Amino acid sequence: MPATSASSTRPAVRFDHVAKTYSGARGTLRALDGVTFDIEEGEFFGLLGPNGAGKTTLISVLAGLVRATEGRVTVMGHDVVDDYAAARRSLGIVPQELVFDPFFTVREALRIQSGYFGVKGNDAWIDELLHSLGLADKANANMRQLSGGMKRRVLVAQALVHRPPVIVLDEPTAGVDVELRQTLWQFIAGLNKQGHTVLLTTHYLEEAEALCGRIAMLKTGRVVALDRTANLLAGTASTMLRFRTDDPLPADMAAQARVTGRIAQVTARDAAEVETLLGRLRAAGVRVEELEIGRADLEDVFLEIMAKEPLA
């Protein structure tokens, strides 16, 4: 796409039939299989999927860390291979792994990262980032001395030194305490309000439900759902049945239920299906206690979609 094309219709990120095949001694693995979707400017977009679905591979292709076998990816109209410098200037990536350079202090690391992007005299913005992320008193601490949560905050700051229009967070809250999670989401939501596009992968579906306007679900390298979060919640089973039991559920029900210890959750389309489900539980001799009926959340939608789509 030439740079002169109408910017009003240009998506912030475009995945166009992206495929990635890994060939190894143990055969080939198709990690991505024709992924196609756009993320518009200013969106807060969620990318969900079970482990091994291809989320990190897709993000790595976007960041230029992995090269797609087929298809192309653009960031703000710039191809991530042919026009990599412009694409990477538009992108801020918070990697999943807690990596750091042990030779430097927090401020040195942020200055160096600014320099890589050709940003001179960035101290005012660096100070703002340190302040917003609660790192101001750690500016001169060596990276080695920081706790895991602090290192995570530095990773976020490093991704933002060049004020990228598109921000990618790959599981940013994995193993992070509640306080940091809240600080982080406030900060990222603020950036999104200012017009930054945000792409998020997470295992915490309640976070995705609360933050993301639109969601794509990946499974075995394919997009199996792509819609507004509200539509996803409305379009599938909307009622949730939650109860406590010591007995095993009927096999077909167990396959789609969320079971946490003795608590089981199953979804139903409407009141009639609730009655049917209860009838079947009674018929199977399952003793149900502390029954609750409520609205389904994104986790129910996720499980339903993942169960519905046949494995490739």
Site of interaction with another protein (CB under 8 A): 22, 63-67, 84-86, 88-89, 91, 93, 95, 97, 99-104, 108, 111-120, 158
Report the residue number, 154 or 240, with the smaller CB distance to another protein. Answer: 154
Alpha helices for the chain (secondary structure H)? 55-63, 84-89, 106-116, 123-132, 148-160, 178-193, 205-211, 229-235, 251-256, 271-283, 298-308
Q: Tell me how far, at minimum, the Cβ of 87 lies from another protein, in Å.
A: 8
Give residues with Cβ within 8 angstroms of 91, minimum separation 6: 62, 63, 75, 164, 166, 168
Between 65 and 255, name the residue whose CB sits nearer to another protein. Answer: 65
Distances in whole angstroms, Cα of residue 151 to Cα of each of 31, 134, 167, 227, 251: 29, 12, 18, 34, 45
Shortest distance in whole angstroms from residue 34 CB to another protein: 19
Q: Looking at beta carbons only, is 138 or 214 nearer to another protein?
A: 138
Q: Is 33 in a helix, a strand, or coil?
A: strand
How buried is 292 (Cβ within 10 angstroms: 0-12 exposed, 13-18 middle, 19+ buried)? Answer: exposed
CB of 32 to another protein, least distance (A): 12
Q: How far is the CB of 180 from another protein (least distance, A)?
A: 21
Q: How far is the CB of 147 from another protein (least distance, A)?
A: 18
Instruction: Give the Cβ contact number of residue 167 at 10 Å.
Output: 22
Task: Enter the DSSP assignment of 6.
Answer: -
- H-state helical runs in 102-228: 106-116, 123-132, 148-160, 178-193, 205-211
Nearer to another protein, 163 or 244 (CB): 163
Minimum Å distance from CB 277 to another protein?
Answer: 46
Least distance CB 231 / another protein (angstroms): 33
Helix, coil or strand: residue 243: strand
Residue 305 corresponds to which tokens in the numbers above? 């979609």
**Owner of token pair 């390298």:** 221
Compare residues 101 and 292 and give the one whose CB is closer to another protein. 101
